[in-house]
A and B are shown apart, each in its own frame.
Chain A
Amino acid sequence: MSTATETVEELANQEYKYGFVTDVETDSIPIGLNEDVVRLISSKKEEPEWLLEWRLNAFRVWLKMSEPEWHNVHYDPIDYQSISYYAAPKKQIKLDSLDDVDPEIRATFDKLGISLDEQKRLSGVAVDAVFDSVSVATTFKDTLANLGIIFCSFSEAVREHPDLVRKYLGSVVPHSDNFFAALNSAVFSDGSFAYIPKGVKCPMELSTYFRINAANTGQFERTLLIADEGAEVSYLEGCTAPQRDENQLHAAVVELVALDDATIKYSTVQNWYPGDENGKGGIFNFVTKRGKAFANAKVTWTQVETGSAITWKYPSCILQGDNSVGEFYSVAVTNNCQEADTGTKMVHLGKNTRSTIISKGISAGRGQNTYRGLVRIGKGATGARNFSQCDSLLIGDRCGAHTFPYLEVKNTTSQVEHEASTSKIGEDQIFYCRQRGLSTEDAVNLIVNGFCKEVFRELPMEFAVEAQKLLGVSLEGSVG
């Protein structure tokens, strides 16, 4: 009908820029999943006996579980026997320094804008780069070590800091938590580990960058982040994958432990390959993320979800300690045939616990965007407060927005607020901007950016820029 609508759709249909494949020799195990595969993964990683037992327990639990069906996403059944559960770049020998990273892989990360070269990095961000299932490099390790901060791959943490791993692994997301978490617990390959000691404020952003490269593999990372009493850390996570016609499974688990008075801020820009405009290919993203906040601690999740064919993800907070705080800020974009079912759970257990949920869903093309959130106020959570706001923006007339807020309140002294809105980018808004001299493209960027503003301002600076670029948005709010 109108040209404005067409342009909006064009804009929303920008192509995926990270779809290239890196040519490296891969050591992957044959497809299929059974106890032997779990044992093989564990032995390839030279893991201790207790971890193998933990994996096997998870696997046995998983066998008895069935895939959830309550979500509002649709996909062909996943054949778990047709996936390879381990892939690693072949040349992976023990790396003594960053110079030992395979040049092809180094080039890959350069291409993605993630420099593994410490000297070249302008801002202080320490990166753990995960290529297929293996962590290939962690930067700024020595600088961090001086403060007692441990930041390394998960495998290395198992070798070097087994006590910490053993104490906290599964303490927030148990191996039997849900179907995808159990699968992850059985076959997880690598991931990132960080420990911030008592009272230490981490001086730089910690960052993990995940890249799926090999075909027909799943990626199952496990991230464990512990902020000891009074510690503070901000953590970033980014992800991309090549463009392939087949769907690939990504089932990660992230556990955050914020001990008394600690603060953890976890930000994600998720840009997995979303599939083509007809819904062919793309990543199936089934992720369990949860943080536990002890007394006076604070856990903040900020996510910008633009990729994946299917997104199934509910970064949550268990507010265990008194006065603990949980926050969830989310922008989820679905375009073409993408479907997202995402939201959060705020579980209030301690007294005077507080939580904030700001969710912004943007649907374009034939995209379906679902917000699903649970606010649970436990019996003992006297004086707990929650505020939730869920806004949906529709672009075009073939997409959908859905909201499923669940509230369970068992303490009458608590206060729970929920606000929701659904709006369309109005032709009149676009016309208004154009009448002031802006092109349609700039007008849409401006409006979408304005819609997401409350979330973007929660992102660390560097990420905010990336997030805005991702939405094709020019920097807003630089004046006034």
Chain B
Amino acid sequence: MLEIRDLHASAGDRQILKGINLTVNAGEVHAIMGPNGSGKSTLAGVLAGRDGLEVTGGTVTFKGQDLLDLEPEERAREGVFLAFQYPVEIPGVNNAYLLKAGLNEVRKHRGEPELDAMDFMTLIRERMALLQMDDTLLSRPVNEGFSGGEKKRNEIFQMAVLEPTLAILDETDSGLDIDALKTVAGGVNALRSPDRSMVVVTHYQRLLNYIVPDFVHVLSGGRIVKSGGKELALELEAKGYGWIETEPATASV
């Protein structure tokens, strides 16, 4: 599904990713953990094609094609979804309208007919139930005046509607209280499927109690310095990141 080889990337003149290697197979959930400034969000941004990040080396292959060669919207239509850490507000633009426009672009790309308003409403009502979303969030402008929790819920709701093949969740847990966290995680778990992969970027182990990953990777200084199973997350929670950063030898595979 996703094959990252020796990926280097910089923002401005600052080198942030310094040789990332990661393979994500269909149906797998990978957690990327690491201290602040280790490059987690940069990795998510590079995969989605965010402006201002420059890939200076390495390759990323997604479903057999060069992902880095695609425009952000082409990546989205191919099935790459980024749940934003800070979802942006777009005043005056109806939340449901943006989603319908996006969904129909994805459908067009897949060679499926565009959904009309009725079919679209049926679909989103069903997906809303999954996230226990408040109806009014649909007709409000995109993220405007949403609470932190509502924004994150909205991201996962969009994911549920767009049905990506690769979902990247960038610190989806930040700013969520425990109830909201459970709801969001429940939504994510309901979307796990054998042909959908997920990369879950998080700072804390807490989220991984609810979204149990198949693999955990620790990012530090722009490199993956340790990989393991879900128990690695617990070890990190107990010991902090310090002990790994002093053990760079385990990094190379």
Contacts and interface: CB of A to CB of B under 8 A. Distances in A.
Interface of A: 2-4, 426-429, 431-440, 442, 446-447, 449-454, 476-480
Interface in B163-206: none
A434 B162 CA distance: 13
Contacts of A427: 51-52
B105 interface: yes
Contact of B105 (A3, A438, A480): A438
Give chain A's interface secondary structure class: helix
B93 A450 contact: yes
Given A2-B52, A450-B141, A431 B72 contact: yes
Contacts of A437: 73, 76-77, 101-103, 105-106, 109, 162
A426 B88 contact: yes
Contacts of A434: 49, 71-73, 76
Interface residues of B, number: 42
Give chain B's interface secondary structure class: helix
Given A437-B76, A451-B92, 16 more contacts: A427-B51, A433-B98, A434-B71, A434-B72, A436-B98, A437-B103, A439-B105, A440-B73, A442-B101, A442-B105, A446-B90, A446-B93, A446-B101, A450-B93, A453-B92, A479-B121
A479 B92 CA distance: 13
A458 to B, nearest CB: 14
Contacts of A3: 51
A449 B142 CA distance: 13
Nearest to A5: B51
Contacts of A439: 73, 105
Nearest to B121: A479
Interface string B88-123: 101111111111111101100100000001001100
B51 A4 contact: yes
Interface string B128-144: 00000000001101100
B96 A450 contact: no
A134 B229 CA distance: 82
B215 interface: no
A404 B244 CA distance: 59
**What 4 pairs across the A-B complex have the smallest Cβ distances?**
A450-B92, A436-B102, A450-B93, A437-B105
A423 to B, nearest CB: 8
Nearest to A426: B88
Contacts of A429: 88, 90
A479 B125 CA distance: 13
Contacts of B101: 436-438, 442, 446
Given A427-B51, A437-B103, A476 B94 contact: yes
A479 B120 contact: yes
Contacts of B75: 435
B82 interface: yes
Interface string B47-85: 011111000000000000000000111011100011010
